[in-house]
Amino acid sequence: MNHTQTVGVVGCGTMGTGIAIVAARAGFKTRIYDLNAGNLELARKQAAAFLKKSVERGKLAEGEDAQIMAQFMTTTDISELADCDFVIEAVFEDLKVKHTIFKQLNDVCADHTIFASNTSTISITEIAGGSGRADRFVGMHFCLPAQMMKLVEMSPGMNTSEETFARAWAFSEALGQRPVCTRDTPGFILNYFLVPWHNDVINMIDQGVAEPADIDLAVKTALGYPLGPLELLDMVGMDTQLLLCEALHGVTNEPRAACPPLVKRMIGAGRLGRKSGRGFHRYDNNKIFGA
């Protein structure tokens, strides 16, 4: 049985905003914490635009978007997550940063609060080890874009209790998601495949094999993917792809996980993807995917 009523989300980037939309849409009081007030305001605008578009497409009833946004609270004060029953961290892939966040959360949250990390490459056991409550810690990796994709990779750490994992699983289902259980291994299921594959595609472009638009069209048309690999990479962001590569390559030494030189050049040029208006493709707005 799911007993969660209030959900906290730490970090309001692409993933955090999407996870917050999922939680609020499922009827949970949702509190998003970020140090940057400007990022939080952008997250609110992106969420509102996405939900408005959902009404226009008939996915939500008229006025339901406003009801959902009434559940959507933002804050720069981490202590305002104190009464959350479940807190999901969705910041960039840096173990020290995650440990700092969870230490702060452990100081303010109640004993019953379950902590989760949306990490896609870092060991859940390692993150949980700095959380102060390794038995009440679980991995919950949402797929990008979280507000449209149903899959959640659920990974217990070595010290995660059976009760915690059962509660987290029930919570994932209450969100309307489809959980799958994975071991605490680098990349879990999806990024074990995706990071090396995306790097292969990036290297193809650097070698002049084909243009980004043609690669995306080929993959979508022949393989039936809803997004091309370069469209997805633009959503992920080049800065995030670099961190994913460093994390996965650092623990596996898999040559295909090593960051391609083109990624670093694109970061240097400010071509991060959707967030900067240009990556492998160009974008003329900062709306969240699906809005």
Tell me the catalytic residues. Answer: 120, 141, 153, 191
What's the CA gap between 290 and 287, in Å, rounded? 8
Q: Which of helix, strand or coil describes residue 29?
A: strand
Q: For the stretch 132-155, what's the b/e string if a residue is b when 16 or more beta carbons lie within 10 angstroms of its beta carbon?
A: bbbebbbbbbbbbbbbbbeebbbb
Following DSSP, what letter does each residue of 60-115 receive, concatenated? Answer: S-TTHHHHHHTTEEEES-GGGGTT-SEEEE---S-HHHHHHHHHHHHHHS-TTPEE
Q: Please give the biggest Cα pair distance in the chain.
A: 55
Q: Residue 253 corresponds to which tokens in the numbers above?
A: 């030494």
SS (H, E, C) 108-140: HCCCCCEEEECCCCCCHHHHHHCCCCHHHEEEE
Q: Residue 57 corresponds to which tokens in the numbers above?
A: 């497409």
